[in-house]
Structure 1
Amino acid sequence: MTMMISRRALLGSLALGGSATLLPRAAFAWTNAEALYPATYAFIKGFVDRRELAGAIAAIGKDQAPPDYLGAGKQAMDSQRAVAPDTIWRLYSMTKPVTGMAAMLLIEDGKMTLDQPIADFLPAFAAMKVQNTPDGSIADVHPAKGPITVRQLLTHTAGLGYNIVQKGPLRDAYNEAGILGGQVSRLPIPGFPPTTPAPSLEVFADRLATLPLVYEPGTRWSYSVGLDLMGRVIEVASGQPFDAFLKARIFDPLGMASTGFRVTGDEEARLSTNYAPLGGVLLPIDPATSSIYLDPPPMPYGGGGLVSTARDYDRFLAMLLGEGETGGVRIMKPETARLGMSNLLADSVDRKNTFIDGEGFGAGGRVSLAGSPTGEGVYGWGGAAGTIAFVDRRRGYRVGGYTQYMPSEALPFQRDFGKAFYKDVMA
């Protein structure tokens, strides 16, 4: 059974029993990574030493040099396998920048433009309705004042909803229609209704088009299924299944052999376990040995469906830092990469009290601005299970932090990982 889980509500809703398990304390640092990044290493090791995480790893690269890896712990509480560069992690929303850059490839190919209405590819979205009251009645609506565009899908400004964000009738309608942002577990999660996901991107898009928008397109930043819908736009514009397009244009050229929407074959031994922290205990909500990621997914979720490794995702980040090229392989033009990592939001877009308040947004990822703590030049995003990755183009770094726990707010790993890294860099 596939169950969706709210990152905000999980801790308050889980009513599972369990006994405390001591977490493994193995730690490692390749080359001189511990000396180069002492704050980052201490940050990671601390979570394992305090028995808050089973394991975690960071991959940090300067310019196009090979990455340094540093980490601690095991793939799971009941595993003897230490976390490593090739441990497989659930990326969840770190899928979004990949989908965003896939869309940028089609823009470079001339198969679509940033401000093109998506109804050119998906006619069902030509006459959308908007709720008169956000999260209110789904029958009390008015015609949208403008079309949904490619830019708006990439930047969460299309007015679409998210079942992990919305409340009331629209959330219920999303769940009933199987308009989900990914999958969590085969296990039932107390407090959450069973849902049957849409069986394909085509059906996902068709069902989504029948439901009202939360906001007028182009007016407000609101976290949404926009990048999942972009997967269907990519299918139509490219003439290829979305997952096949990603493999052909991004994963294979970059050598990302362990990245995809499913874990198969010998990859299974490298899959981590996903946990829910509750009262000082880590409850396995998606054990590696029976993970939902061992099954074919109902559809390739462009907003939250990928699994990957620290090594693989670093190759993606190296390509971004190299403005479309890494290791002698170019997958996009420099101007395409720069555009995708730039702020694609108009100043008029309301982003107050959102995840990006005071910052910008590019193709699937947050973009820092001049007034941001890091200054300009940072592009990236995090995932629902605690992962985080970004490139700092001004300083020439690519950075990823990987672990597995939900919701990401339950522990300060994702929130403070970047602070530890910048403490090292500024030192």
Structure 2
Amino acid sequence: MSLSSISAEFSRRSFMRGAGAVGTGAAMLNIPFAGRALAASPADSWPGVEALVSDYVRQRKVANMVCALGWGQREADFIAKGRDSFLAERMADPDSLYRIYSMTKPITGMAAMILVDEGRLSLDQPLADLLPKFADMQVQKIYDGAITPDNLERAVRPITIRHLLTHTAGLGYGSMVQQGPIGAAYAEKGLVPGAISRIEIPGLLRGAPAGSLAAFADRLAEMPLVYQPGTRWSYSVGLDLMGRVIEIASGQPFDAFLQERIFGPCGMASTWFRVPAEEKFRLTANYFLLGDNLLPIDQPGTSIYLDQPAFPFGGAGLVSSPRDYDRFLMMLAGYGAIDGVRVMSERAVRIGTSDLLPDTMLPGDIYPATYGFGAGGRVVRTANGPNFGWFGAAGTTGFVNMGSGLRQGQYSQYMPAQFYSLQEDFLAAAARDAGRR
């Protein structure tokens, strides 16, 4: 099988398969809050998860895997197997560093909810209030068709903050989702939502990113939308654009706002857009699956994440540790509070983890029928309340059940994530184990 054919996993169809990955596991989370004593060890507490992790590492499907599982405000149980890379001496542990890619989105979404709660943004506020260049958008008549006047029409409604948070703005996602001329145009204009490797890999992100969030926003405003705003769920750069919105609404650089308002208060000391040189010893390697072979595409010593990014990618730019991201999920499980520190209001968390999809969605869209979508993450409805979170393109998973308080984090590094059923299998195993307790 060729590299280019494997890379096709990153096509629009692959993303939509990934969009359905959580259904089985999350739907099982109809369980009460765990008030019982913990078992003797994480392996005893979470036998299904431990078996899953052991199986993947033993079969060398992945170099390592770390899972973080916890309840409410209790400390997490960690299950860790393997080494930071196939060649590393260091064993993977809760402080190993992983490229969390799109698990950045819920963090950006909650940053936006802080500003909504403070009255500096509102969910149904037109984006053009903050970025006037988005006032008169054009929309493709034929999805992924030509970018020519005969295939364009005016947007029937403005893009709103709600649309950006829920992937319903009609924005594209470059060559990883868009297959037609608009995908090439995104790459040409530097509308790239992240970094993967110094190696050119067919089907992955292409093009040099715009030099700043401001330039990214300005260039994006020149592109036609792929759908009418508010009508379809379509994976997009909406959360990257939200970074620029947050800058304007807060008066701070986006990354500084995250540090001051989320990372610092949550005690997340190992979450960065750029990995400090002195911390690269705990950075894991990322691999690309070519058939059954794992090819290294981003090694710790030469990682692209050691460079300063062109701008902080709010959709897929962060590196974090299992311990750190669990702190973010713990804050959400505490409805905005962690270790006695109030990071967000309860109201902001409740709204952000609820279904925010607009009421203008067209019939037949998978999300209104099957799922909801909140501030940067999927909402799966359960008897206990919403299960909120999202996935990463290199095989990571992070969810929290807002009723039971169950926190579910799984970390490994391989691409494309959909090559294995790991993300779905992890959530199902975590739900089964939690139901036994």
From 295, 313, 316, give the equivalent of 2:325. 313
Query: 1:350 & 1:159 partners in 2: Cα distance?
Result: 13
- Give per-residue Cα distances to partners, 1:289-348, cap 9 Å, x unaligned: 111000001111000000000110011000000000011111111011100000001354
Task: Identify if the C-alpha distance between structure 1 residues 105 and 69 changes in structure 2 by more than 3 Å, giving closer, same or farther.
Answer: same
Instruction: State the 1:181 CA deviation.
Output: 1.4
Query: 2:288 & 2:427 partners in 1: Cα distance?
Result: 22
From 224, 227, 232, give the equivalent of 1:220. 232
Q: Does the Cα contact within 8 Å between 1:129 and 1:142 map onto a contact in 2?
A: yes
Where does residue 233 of structure 1 map in the other structure?
Answer: 245
Where does residue 209 of structure 1 map in the other structure?
Answer: 221
From 124, 134, 142, give the equivalent of 1:133. 142
Q: Aligned AA for 2:132?
A: P
- Give per-residue Cα distances to partners, 1:352-392, cap 9 Å, x unaligned: 4657861000000000125xxx7642000000000001001
Where does residue 8 of structure 1 map in the other structure?
Answer: 9
Q: Aligned AA for 1:253?
A: P
**1:414-425 matched pairs, under 5 angstroms:** 414-425=423-434
- Give per-residue Cα distances to partners, 1:83-132, cap 9 Å, x unaligned: 11100000100000000000001111111111001111101000101011
Q: Does the Cα contact within 8 Å between 1:87 and 1:272 map onto a contact in 2?
A: yes
2:261 is paired with a residue whose SS is helix
Where does residue 278 of structure 2 map in the other structure?
Answer: 266
Structure with bigger helix share is 2
TM-score (norm 1): 0.90
Q: Aligned AA for 1:343?
A: D
Count of residues in correspondence between the two structures: 401
Query: 1:408 & 1:108 partners in 2: Cα distance?
Result: 34
Where does residue 123 of structure 2 map in the other structure?
Answer: 114
Instruction: State the 1:278 CA deviation.
Output: 2.1
Where does residue 343 of structure 1 map in the other structure?
Answer: 355
Instruction: State the 1:279 CA deviation.
Output: 2.8
From 98, 108, 112, give the equivalent of 1:103. 112
Where does residue 282 of structure 1 map in the other structure?
Answer: 294
From 137, 153, 156, give the equivalent of 2:167. 156
Q: Does the Cα contact within 8 Å between 1:324 and 1:337 map onto a contact in 2?
A: yes
* Matching of residue 330 in structure 1 with residue 342 in structure 2: yes
Q: Does the Cα contact within 8 Å between 1:368 and 1:375 map onto a contact in 2?
A: no
1:142 is paired with a residue whose SS is strand
Instruction: State the 1:138 CA deviation.
Output: 1.3
Q: Aligned AA for 1:175?
A: A
Query: 1:314 & 1:226 partners in 2: Cα distance?
Result: 24
Query: 2:300 & 2:134 partners in 1: Cα distance?
Result: 39
Q: Which moved more, 1:353-362 or 1:294-303?
A: 353-362
Query: 1:7 & 1:387 partners in 2: Cα distance?
Result: 20
Where does residue 15 of structure 1 map in the other structure?
Answer: none
* Matching of residue 365 in structure 1 with residue 365 in structure 2: no
Query: 1:390 & 1:351 partners in 2: Cα distance?
Result: 27
Q: Which moved more, 1:127-136 or 1:274-283?
A: 274-283
Instruction: State the 1:158 CA deviation.
Output: 0.4
Query: 2:362 & 2:391 partners in 1: Cα distance?
Result: 21
Instruction: State the 1:350 CA deviation.
Output: 4.0
Query: 2:204 & 2:115 partners in 1: Cα distance?
Result: 38
Where does residue 400 of structure 1 map in the other structure?
Answer: 409
Q: Does the Cα contact within 8 Å between 2:8 and 2:203 map onto a contact in 1?
A: no
Q: Aligned AA for 1:157?
A: T
Q: Does the Cα contact within 8 Å between 2:399 and 2:409 map onto a contact in 1?
A: yes
Q: Aligned AA for 1:8?
A: E
From 79, 83, 97, give the equivalent of 1:70. 79
Q: Does the Cα contact within 8 Å between 1:340 and 1:363 map onto a contact in 2?
A: yes
Query: 2:85 & 2:305 partners in 1: Cα distance?
Result: 16
Query: 1:172 & 1:86 partners in 2: Cα distance?
Result: 38
Q: What RMSD over aligned residues (CA atoms) do the two structures have, in Å?
A: 1.8
Task: Identify if the C-alpha distance between structure 1 residues 193 and 267 changes in structure 2 by more than 3 Å, giving closer, same or farther.
Answer: closer
1:263 is paired with a residue whose SS is coil
Task: Identify if the C-alpha distance between structure 1 residues 191 and 112 changes in structure 2 by more than 3 Å, giving closer, same or farther.
Answer: closer
Q: Which structure carries more relative contact order (alpha carbon 8 Å, separation 6+)? A: 2
Query: 2:424 & 2:74 partners in 1: Cα distance?
Result: 26
Query: 1:276 & 1:425 partners in 2: Cα distance?
Result: 32
Q: Which moved more, 1:340-349 or 1:290-299?
A: 340-349
Q: Aligned AA for 1:150?
A: I
Query: 1:260 & 1:314 partners in 2: Cα distance?
Result: 15
Where does residue 169 of structure 1 map in the other structure?
Answer: 181
**1:238-257 matched pairs, under 5 angstroms:** 238-257=250-269
- Give per-residue Cα distances to partners, 1:36-94, cap 9 Å, x unaligned: 00000100111001110000010011111111100210110010111111000001000
Query: 1:266 & 1:170 partners in 2: Cα distance?
Result: 40
Query: 1:224 & 1:332 partners in 2: Cα distance?
Result: 26
Q: Does the Cα contact within 8 Å between 2:45 and 2:433 map onto a contact in 1?
A: yes
* Matching of residue 38 in structure 1 with residue 9 in structure 2: no
Task: Identify if the C-alpha distance between structure 1 residues 355 and 348 changes in structure 2 by more than 3 Å, giving closer, same or farther.
Answer: closer
Query: 2:435 & 2:416 partners in 1: Cα distance?
Result: 30
Q: Aligned AA for 2:155?
A: A
Where does residue 158 of structure 2 map in the other structure?
Answer: 147
Q: Does the Cα contact within 8 Å between 1:220 and 1:351 map onto a contact in 2?
A: no
Please list every run of 5 or more consecutive structure 1 residues that lacks an aligned counterpart in the other structure. Answer: 11-29
- Percent identity of equivalent pairs: 51
Q: Does the Cα contact within 8 Å between 1:235 and 1:241 map onto a contact in 2?
A: yes
Task: Identify if the C-alpha distance between structure 1 residues 192 and 243 changes in structure 2 by more than 3 Å, giving closer, same or farther.
Answer: closer
